[in-house]
Amino acid sequence: MNNWFECKVTYDRTAEDSTIKKVTEPYLVDALSFTEAETRICKECQAYATGEFTVSAVKRCKITEMFFNDDLQEYKWFRCRVNYLSLDEEKGVEKRTAQTMMVQAVDFQDAVKALVKGMESSVCDYEIASIAETKILDAFKYQPTENQ
C-alpha cells in the first residue's frame, strides 16, 4: 500500500505582466516518511521552479487508491469518497466503510467515468458518496532507480 503525502511548495513565479508573484501549490508524493516526501518533492520541483523555493507544508493523506490517466495532456485531480457496502449479519444492518480515492480527469463527468472504470474490478458493492475537484497540480509515484 502506498503512503501519500500532500506537499505544499512556495516559490516565485513570473506572471504574464512580467511581475514576480509568490505562489503556493500543492502536490501529492508517494513516500515512506515525511523526510522522504520533502526530499522527493524538492527533486521534482527543481525542474519547474526557477530560483529559490521552499516546502511550506507536508501532511499525510489517507488515500486508498489512485487512478492515473497518462493519456491526458490537461487534467485536474478529483477527490472521491466511496462507501463500500457490507451486511452485518449479527445485527442485520447495512454497514458502510468510507474510502478516499483520487482520480485524474479532465472534468467532473470524466472523473465519474474514470472512477467507475477503475472500480470495475471491485468485488464489493459500493456507492459514490462525493467527488470534488482539488487544487492538487500533480502526483508523483515512487519510481525505483536501477541501483535500488
pLDDT tens, residue by residue, 47-65: 777 778 899 999 999 999 9
pLDDT at residue 37 greater than cutoff 80: yes
Instruction: Using CB atoms within 10 Å of the CB of residue 53, give its burial: 0 to 12 exposed, 13 to 18 middle, 19+ buried.
Output: buried
pLDDT tens, residue by residue, 73-94: 889 999 999 999 988 888 888 8
φ, ψ dihedrals at 18, nearest 5°:
65, 15
Going by pLDDT thresholds of 50, 70 and 90, the confidence category of residue 15 is confident
How many residues in the chain? 148
pLDDT tens, residue by residue, 94-134: 889 999 999 999 999 999 999 999 999 988 899 999 999 99
- The yes-or-no answer to whether 1-61 and 63-143 have a common fold is yes
User: Domain coordinates of the chain in residue numbers?
Assistant: 1-61, 63-143
Going by pLDDT thresholds of 50, 70 and 90, the confidence category of residue 1 is low
Percent of the chain with pLDDT over 90: 65
Pick the CATH number of 63-143 from 3.40.1350, 1.10.3470, 1.10.1410, 3.10.20: 3.10.20
Q: Which fold has domain 1-61?
A: Ubiquitin-like (UB roll) (3.10.20)
Give the model's pLDDT for residue 65.
94
Instruction: Using CB atoms within 10 Å of the CB of residue 35, give its burial: 0 to 12 exposed, 13 to 18 middle, 19+ buried.
Output: exposed
